[in-house]
Structure 1
Amino acid sequence: MRDFVIGAIGLVLTACWTGSSSAASGTVEHGHGSRRNVVMIVSDDHGLQLGCYGETIIKTPHLDALAAEGTRFANAFCVTASCSPSRSTILTGRFGHATGQYGLAHSYHNFRAMPKQTSLPKLLNEDGVRTAIIGKFHVLPEEMYPFETLPGNARNPVAMADACRKFLAECVESQTPFFLYFCTIDPHRSGDVNESLPERPNRFGNIEGGHKGVVETGYDPDKMVVPPWLPNTPESRAEWAEYAQSVSRVDQGVGRLIEILRQTGAWDNTLVIYLSDNGPAFPGAKTTLYEPGMKLPCIVRDPAAKSTGVVNEGLISWVDLAPTVLEAMGGLTEERAKGFHGRSFLSLVGCDDPQGRDVVYGSHTFHEVTMYFPMRAVREPRFKLIWNLAAPLPFPFASDLYNSATWQAALKAGPDSPYGVRTVAQTMGPRPSFELYDLQTDPLEQRNLADDPAYQQELKRLQDKLRAFQKRTNDPWILKWERE
């Protein structure tokens, strides 16, 4: 199966294609009446903790309702579990190793994409689409992403939604197609101290600007069930409770935004995408290419889709998002498609056929500027290979993860103490050059098969696939196959 197809996008009929060409694909007619508007909601550090993904404690009724009206992708992946490079991929459809957005953009980290590259807002602006961002931006250079900026407190998703009302109403009134990039900071760890729990620093909750309009759900740390990749300790449960609270804030913001889309008359012609930039901000997830860091929620509600409440098992990647949005808005030409590393998955919305979506790739190089630890990964439905290109180095920890109460308690317990499904020492590294996992029998990635004689054929096959991917996407780190 080819990893991605570049062809006459929008002219291929699939088993799940429905409706007229302009309504179903958005690629034939270019009048404003034939396009969908698009709202892309990107939360910060949110894993698969939603009711529609099987979560039983954290309350996400609005996101669950969105999934009931749309398509839930069961196998959706970021390409790197780090904020800036992940967001750059979302907005360019290209891997960070090719754009130059290798790590965090803010402060002294100062990673930025190379000059003279295009982006989703640039292309949409060329098509007469009004593009706006509210909330977290976190990519550079700013001129590469020519959004109209809407003011709003990114720690209050409900207030963010209210701040979008004027923009949405204006677009509907003027019949101008719009792309709204709605980016919360929740549930990102804030690094601030929650005064209600002064003995536990580096909390998720952040009172910046307050949470006016948000109904605090209230989660009892003693009743929290942490995922198996986290230690079941009082510190971990307390932090997980605050993470749960911030997830519920995001959910309420999504609910308010949908309400405003309905009130302004935009809902019936607007495609809504919900996703996260990377997994939760805990050691074992964020900044890793393990499943908790990469495997994320993706819910898409398309008014042109024939079926609702659909679950699609196809593997999709964040490099696919930009071409998907372009196709929905009528702007994905064959020439533009050649500029992306991904391909549109619009035909999968409202469809349970994975249509050959059987591989995604990961590419991580930095998080903070001091955290050089390049990793590349290839992930199929059954097997996953991670290549740690700097394997002799200790695995570097993000400052907020290292300082968290969860990790500090784990360090005090000692290197041989359990940290979820691994030990503290295993979580810290060093790591082997190659990690091969059979996700069918080992979904928690506990048993590395790279040195197992029975799996050498799989190892070689995936290594060849990874190297071909690097060549295809102009990865400078392909040189590591030959020399240091």
Structure 2
Amino acid sequence: MLLTRLTLFLVLLTGAVLAQNPAARPNVVLIVGDDHDLSAIGCYNTLSGRSQAKTPNLDYLAKEGVRFTRAYATTSSCSPSRSTLLSGRHNHNTGQYGLAHATHHFRSHEELKTLPALLREAGYATARIGKYHVAPASAYKFDEALSDDGSNPVKMAGQCATFLESNKTRPFFLYFCPTDPHRAGSNKNLPYGANPHGNRPNGHDGVTETVYGMDSLRVPYFLPDAPETKAELAQYYQSVSRMDQGIGKLFDLLKEKGLWENTIVIYLSDNGMPVPGAKTTHYEPGVRLPLIIRNPFSNRKNQVCDELVSWVDVTPTLLDYAGLNPPVMANASRPQGGGEYGERGPTNFYHGKSWKGYFDRNAGPNKAPFKGDTVFLSHTFHEVTMYYPMRSVVTKRYKLIWNVAHDLPFPFASDLWGSATWQGFLKSGKTQYGPRTKEAYMRRPAFELYDLEKDPQERTNLVQNKAYKTIYDTLLASLKNFQEQTNDPWRVKWVHE
């Protein structure tokens, strides 16, 4: 009885302390756009010089927080990327090698301890809404699944009202995942067969659609400048603006319920635009993505961070904010146990780093105690028929891509092959697709080395340039060490092939 009373007292005391100091365990809203390219967001216009999509609410979030310019998804594929976001581990370690659709049947390890599960154990209320797309549910368990329909972001925001209202005095984690601007299928009634990206002829309930005229659109450098591309971009931007409107509605709800100043809001995308040359690749349009963070407990407002970060950092960062002191790879030794072929399963440490130090209240704009100079990327499958593993390392200046299955032609995801952009390109008979030829896109060398400072569009492979041999050797050694540290089964390729 005495122990029970003492436990109750400690719980009440902890609750009282947290109520007085919400920064000790802040609320978290993690918003994940679906296939949202860096060029299709207004506040990144100063970076890309080509953004035309209207995103006033994401622009507002950037003014209220920090916009990261060197943020990377570790893989440009929906399910593997989301498994990384929610686990803090690369997909080759989670087991989520590809899409979780029943047809493809990729699943994470059952014993994987993920962000929602750990936050639940720490006393957070957890809820998800919209696109889920990871498996098994036992590994990615939330208290509530508010809805699996992510097609109407404004409606989604309204469906979060009860959850927010009921957790005004308890820390919560809301995982908000629209399906915009993911492609929803082809539509022969649209110009050039452009894909509607979730757009409906009669619109969406509660949504004021923003319609774009294709004739005035500028085409991003990684796509062919053609009518089919512009028609598809017009549809894509419309779905981006719809997502932005839903995000604005969610912001309004947080403010109405008095939660805005107690809640960290993070916006990012799972992978790049759903067209060849971006999604499923390790080229910049596939993996370099928007990341905007508003921390109400920080003095960092309307700032830009150029440090390198990636999606394996998200879980350790949020666990750090929850006071759970996450173990990270930088402080870990090589995984112990198991055999040569990588059967050890998930590591007991996270593969990323926490960004929390960057947002410390007393950190001046030029005195951030956080640095990020290297990120690693890992891709194996998209659909089960698309075996093309890649492992990459990115530094402030260089990127090295290892195309493990380089003897194979680069495979096409079904939605990319069917895109109006690609089909229009095939019908044109042209050979140049964006920055590379069709042949160079489909047939790749074992290694690609790019100087991102001099060659941001990744046009010139420097692997055979003797002046870059030391850089190549250093990056390759770093990549091999990364594979060892993160328990990558594909590291055996160095021995057996």
- Relative to the length of structure 2, the TM-score reads 0.87
* 2:33–2:269 Cα contact (<8 Å) kept: yes
1:87 Cα deviation from its structure 2 partner = 0.1
Confirm or deny that 1:178 pairs with 2:172.
yes
Confirm or deny that 1:233 pairs with 2:226.
yes
1:192 Cα deviation from its structure 2 partner = 4.3
Distance 2:110 2:459 in 1: 41
Q: How do residues 67-466 of structure 1 correspond to structure 2 at under 5 angstroms?
A: 67-147=62-142, 148-151=144-147, 153-172=149-168, 175-193=169-187, 195=189, 197=190, 200=193, 202-207=195-200, 210-334=203-327, 339-349=349-359, 351=365, 353=368, 355-414=370-429, 417-427=431-441, 429-466=442-479
Unpaired segments ≥5 residues, structure 1: 1-28
SS in 2 for 1:432: coil
User: What is aligned with 2:36?
Assistant: 46
Counterparts in 2 of 1:194 and 1:150: CA distance versus 1, 3 Å = farther
For residue 464 of structure 1, what is the amino acid of its counterpart? A
SS in 2 for 1:131: strand
* 1:67–1:309 Cα contact (<8 Å) kept: yes
Q: CA deviation digits over 1:223-263, x for unaligned, max 9?
A: 11111010000000100111101110111111110000000
Q: CA deviation digits over 1:331-389, x for unaligned, max 9?
A: 33559996211111122237554733100010000000000000000000101000000
* 2:130–2:149 Cα contact (<8 Å) kept: yes
Distance 1:417 1:217 in 2: 34
SS in 1 for 2:167: helix
For residue 166 of structure 1, what is the amino acid of its counterpart? T
1:482 Cα deviation from its structure 2 partner = 2.2
Q: How many residues align?
A: 452
1:314 Cα deviation from its structure 2 partner = 0.5
| Mean CA deviation greater in 209-218 or 104-113 | 209-218
1:207 Cα deviation from its structure 2 partner = 3.0
User: What is aligned with 1:35?
Assistant: 25
* 1:313–1:354 Cα contact (<8 Å) kept: no
1:403 Cα deviation from its structure 2 partner = 1.0
Distance 1:198 1:333 in 2: 51
* 1:159–1:212 Cα contact (<8 Å) kept: yes
SS in 2 for 1:133: strand
* 2:128–2:174 Cα contact (<8 Å) kept: yes
* 2:203–2:209 Cα contact (<8 Å) kept: no
* 2:392–2:399 Cα contact (<8 Å) kept: yes
- Relative to the length of structure 1, the TM-score reads 0.90
* 1:221–1:241 Cα contact (<8 Å) kept: yes
Counterparts in 2 of 1:249 and 1:67: CA distance versus 1, 3 Å = same
* 1:382–1:438 Cα contact (<8 Å) kept: yes
SS in 1 for 2:96: coil
* 2:94–2:109 Cα contact (<8 Å) kept: yes
Distance 2:359 2:278 in 1: 28
User: What is aligned with 1:8?
Assistant: none
1:106 Cα deviation from its structure 2 partner = 0.8
1:483 Cα deviation from its structure 2 partner = 2.1
1:201 Cα deviation from its structure 2 partner = 5.4
SS in 1 for 2:399: strand
Counterparts in 2 of 1:201 and 1:234: CA distance versus 1, 3 Å = closer
SS in 1 for 2:150: coil
For residue 73 of structure 1, what is the amino acid of its counterpart? F
* 1:300–1:349 Cα contact (<8 Å) kept: no
Q: CA deviation digits over 1:166-222, x for unaligned, max 9?
A: 1001101xx111000000100001114274x17515432343995111111110011
For residue 141 of structure 1, what is the amino acid of its counterpart? P
* 1:187–1:246 Cα contact (<8 Å) kept: yes
Distance 1:456 1:297 in 2: 32
For residue 108 of structure 1, what is the amino acid of its counterpart? T
Distance 2:387 2:257 in 1: 47
Distance 1:364 1:354 in 2: 31
Q: CA deviation digits over 1:24-53, x for unaligned, max 9?
A: xxxxx8778431100000010001121111
SS in 1 for 2:116: helix
Which 4+ residue blocks in structure 1 deviate beyond 6 angstroms?
29-32
SS in 1 for 2:174: strand
* 2:84–2:311 Cα contact (<8 Å) kept: yes
Counterparts in 2 of 1:152 and 1:39: CA distance versus 1, 3 Å = same
For residue 33 of structure 2, what is the amino acid of its counterpart? S
* 2:328–2:351 Cα contact (<8 Å) kept: no
For residue 62 of structure 1, what is the amino acid of its counterpart? N
1:151 Cα deviation from its structure 2 partner = 2.2
Unpaired segments ≥5 residues, structure 2: 1-16, 332-347
For residue 459 of structure 1, what is the amino acid of its counterpart? Y
Q: CA deviation digits over 1:417-443, x for unaligned, max 9?
A: 22111122222x210000000011100
Counterparts in 2 of 1:261 and 1:324: CA distance versus 1, 3 Å = same
| Mean CA deviation greater in 53-62 or 298-307 | 53-62
For residue 247 of structure 2, what is the amino acid of its counterpart? V
Q: CA RMSD in A?
A: 2.0
* 2:399–2:452 Cα contact (<8 Å) kept: yes
User: What is aligned with 1:15?
Assistant: none
For residue 185 of structure 1, what is the amino acid of its counterpart? T
